[in-house]
Amino acid sequence: MAGRDDDLPFRVELWDDHDRHIEEVIALVSDFATAKSAFEEAVRCRLGRLITLRQKARVIQKSL
What pLDDT shows up at residue 57?
95
pLDDT score of 7:
85
Q: What is the pTM of this model?
A: 0.88
Q: Which of 33, 35, 28, 39 is nearest to 6 (CA)?
A: 28
User: Cβ atoms within 10 A of the Cβ of 59, count?
Assistant: 10
* pLDDT by position in tens, the chain (length 64): 455 666 899 999 999 999 999 999 999 999 999 999 999 999 999 999 999 999 999 999 999 8
CB distance 50 to 62 below 8 Å: yes
